[in-house]
Amino acid sequence: MVSYEDVNGALPKKWATASAEWHSPAKYALDSAKDLRDNGVKPLADNWRDEVGAAAAKKFAKLADELEVAYGILLSVHMVVDGMTTPPQTARSTLREACELAQRYGLDIGRRR
């Protein structure tokens, strides 16, 4: 069971920070994939039309695909961690309001372990 102190001591800002830290590499992976396609695959296909150019374009396209997969994975982690930010915020807010209400009516909240 979660105690009063556990809820009150929850640190939703740490979850929010962690969420942002996962979002940054996700965005970087997606931007890198786009750059590879725009500045690697496309120019190679347009300007280097022999087997070597086709092979290089294929490798760039494969790397861009892998970066897009990495983006999806990293973004998923970001979303899960971001989702973990809300429950402790809600719990702390609810606990604060319950304490204020109890105090207003002269009630003492027992804190059990």
pLDDT digits (tens, 9 = 90+) for 1-23: 667 777 777 788 888 899 999 99
Q: How far apart are CA 6 and CA 21, in angstroms?
A: 25
Residue 25, token pair as written in the block: 């590499």
Where do the H-state alpha helices sit in the chain? Answer: 4-8, 12-36, 42-47, 51-83, 86-104
Residue 92 vs residues 4, 19, 99: alpha-carbon distances, Å = 9, 19, 10
Q: How far apart are CA 63 and CA 25, in angstroms?
A: 16
Residue 9, token pair as written in the block: 């001591």
pTM: 0.72
Reported as a pLDDT band with limits 50, 70 and 90, residue 68 is very high
